[in-house]
Amino acid sequence: MTWLVDPFTANQFMQRALLAGVLVALACAVIGTFVVLRGLAFIGDALAHGVLPGVAGALLLGYPGMLGAVVGALGMIFGVSWVTKHSRLSSDTAIGLLFVGMLALGVVMVSRTRTFTGDLVGILFGEILGISVSDLVVQAVATVAVAVVALVCARPFLLLSVDPELADVAGFRSRRYHHVMLALIAVTVVVSFQTVGTLLVFGMLLAPAGTAALLARRVGAMIAWAAGIGLGSVYVGLLLSYHWSIAGGAAIVLTAVVVFFVVLTAQAVRAALVSRRSPAVEVAP
Amino acid sequence: MSAPGAAPTRAGVITAQSVAVGYQGRPVVGGLSFTLDPGEALALVGTNGSGKSTLLKTLVGLLAPLGGSLDVLGRPPGGSPRRVAYLSQFHAAGFVLPLRVRDVVRMGRYANHGLLGRLGEDDERLIDESLERMGISALADRSLRDLSGGQQQRTYLAQVLARRADLLVLDEPTAGVDAAGQGVYGQALEAERARGAAVVVATHDIGEAAQASQVLLLAGRVVAQGAPTSVLTADNLLDTFGIGLRRLGDDYLLAAEAHGHQHPEPPGFEAHGHHDPAGHEGHGHAH
């Protein structure tokens, strides 16, 4: 059984990768739960990809990638808010166009660099095995901040999940807390993109929380389930990455998505078995 | 209750003078003037798009009035979140939400405790009482997503009761609720009024409207307002919906006649047009 532990005890880069993955899993469990409850998956996707042109711009200008990610995320929050408010189309169409536009802009900008393929793969899929200690510190601070703000705003976030008007009438401004939620998603995306990449951070936001929604009967339990599934996915994904020499970030997210479909299938099979056992109501002739 | 057209006083739970309501600067209905005192109920009756929900959203501060003067519990609408309970027409169906019935009702106490205030024993007692009054105590630990639409609606009504508000604003509260549920809802509403809460309710149920202190009949304009007996007349309902009303004992029944289209009549009923053969005059007709 040493193959379960040795990769982490024998390699410092694997220890850092595990710690970074744990922090991503925890932050994504907290805010991903509200993304799933509020049906904000598409906005989350848009935010995750909105950081791409910011990161690309920072690389071109010689600034840290995380700074560019912050600028990109802020731009995307503004863009999402603007199109949601002003578009007469359904918001998913407007946000979809914004997200594709930002993604294309990012690729265009990255294509101006000499190391086009390497940079793009690094931004989209992360470099979890190359995480530094300073990256970990930033990630830890951000994870604690996301958890604390989400805890403080739990009541308005819950009311928003049921009905934004309910939040407004209870004295919690729905627009204000909607923007707080977007900001928390953005922070999670910004600090996670180096670990699992912009493409895959979206998977970590959705897959563990989505699986948890199938299993939990209370929001607190949903966050706990999401954290457990996320942590398990990080551990299994890193093991797969180490032993089979596959991309770490992708292995983590793939594990989380597989868990979702296993649970979904198990529940569907169980429901089918239960309905088969229940006798059909017979109509008297 | 104030008479139609009477000058409203500042003492009411709601004081509306020539109020216009609508969306994005476009009025849906205007010329709304009424007062509502503690313990009274105002029923809004009208066609789809007549302005009922728009008026309710304006009363709770979700929309700004487009004109006139509107005072709710002595402040502008939305200024007293702890004292106003609102049941909207649409809320999450609970397909995704991992919430127990008790958790949803508990949300009714959030307005009183803000972001971090702890819910105490009094709150828990109110939550239990509200569940009991809506007849869903046995469902308290069930998941919202496992319940029928009617049971979910009862849950949201219990949440409104748990607010212990001075003003209850309800948008089609009995939609999807079965007869037993409507019974407990009626009793709960009576109790709320007896303790002094005022109620504004949008409804398509003429029988429910008849129980109110006053009725506002809307069709993009004020068709009539005042006491139920003077407003819910055949002429006014024909004017609003294009169908007539016949009163039978204590029940209000809609007869089958609409805009000249003759529908099969229920046995024992006569279709009738603008002239009310029962002799009910269209008192309070606003135009």
What does DSSP say about strands B67-72 and B14-23: parallel, antiparallel, or unpaired? antiparallel
pLDDT at A193: 79
Percent of chain A with pLDDT over 90: 41
B89 Cβ contact partners less than 8 Å away, ≥ 6 residues apart: B53, B171, B172, B175, B202
Q: Which among A33, A38, A169 is the top mutation candidate for probing chain B, defined by the most B β-carbons within 10 Å of its own β-carbon? A: A169
Check residue A117 and report its DSSP letter: H
Taking the model in full, what pTM does it have? 0.82
Pick B96's closest partner by Cβ from A163, A213, A217: A213
Per-residue pLDDT for B168 more than 80? yes
Mean pLDDT of chain B: 80
A279 within domain boundaries: no
E strand spans, B8-156: 14-23, 26-36, 41-46, 67-72, 84-87
Q: Is A223 on the interface with B (CB under 8 A)?
A: no
pLDDT at B268: 33
**How many CB atoms sit inside 10 A of residue B25's CB?**
7
**How many CB atoms sit inside 10 A of residue B31's CB?**
14
A155 within domain boundaries: yes
What does DSSP say about strands B243-248 and B251-258: parallel, antiparallel, or unpaired? antiparallel
Closest CA to B67 of B118, B32, B15: B32
A63 within domain boundaries: yes
How many Cα atoms are found within 13 Å in the side-chain-facing hemisphere of A28?
39
pLDDT at B115: 93
Per-residue pLDDT for B248 more than 60? no
Task: Name the β-bridge partners of B171.
Answer: B202
A95 against A280, higher pLDDT: A95
pLDDT at B261: 36
The 3-class secondary structure across A184-204, one letter per residue, is HHHHHHHHHHHHHHHHHHHHH
**Between chains, do A171 and B98 touch, taking CB under 8 Å as contact?**
no
Pick A161's closest partner by Cβ from B61, B84, B97: B97
Check residue B285 and report its DSSP letter: B
- Give the domain extent around A202: 2-269
**Between chains, do B82 and A171 touch, taking CB under 8 Å as contact?**
yes
pLDDT at B4: 41
B283 against A199, higher pLDDT: A199
E strand spans, chain B: 14-23, 26-36, 41-46, 67-72, 84-87, 167-171, 198-202, 214-218, 222-226, 243-248, 251-258, 261-262
Per-residue pLDDT for A190 more than 90? no
Domain ranges of chain B: 91-165
**Between chains, do A159 and B107 touch, taking CB under 8 Å as contact?**
yes
The per-residue pLDDT for range A37-65, each reduced to its tens digit, is 888 888 888 888 788 888 888 878 888 88
pLDDT at B136: 94
A276 within domain boundaries: no
Per-residue pLDDT for B60 more than 90? yes
Number of domains forming the structure of chain A: 1
Per-residue pLDDT for B169 more than 80? yes
A26 pLDDT band (50/70/90 cuts)? very high
A141 against A40, higher pLDDT: A141
Assess contact for A256 and A207: CB atoms under 8 A: yes
Q: Is B37 on the interface with A (CB under 8 A)?
A: no
Q: Cα–Cα distance between B107 and A48 in angstroms, integer?
A: 31
pLDDT at A82: 81
CA distance B50 to chain A (A): 20
Domain of A114: which CATH number?
Answer: 1.10.3470.10
pLDDT at B269: 33
What integer is the mean pLDDT of A64-92? 80
Per-residue pLDDT for A143 more than 90? yes
**Between chains, do A217 and B143 touch, taking CB under 8 Å as contact?**
yes
A277 within domain boundaries: no
Per-residue pLDDT for A242 more than 70? yes
A261 within domain boundaries: yes
**Between chains, do B97 and A159 touch, taking CB under 8 Å as contact?**
no
CA distance A254 to chain B (A): 23
pLDDT at A149: 97
pLDDT at B281: 35
> B residues 84-123 near A, CB within 8 Å?
84-86, 88, 90-92, 96-100, 103-104, 107, 110-111, 114-116
A217 within domain boundaries: yes
A274 within domain boundaries: no
> B residues 124-163 near A, CB within 8 Å?
143
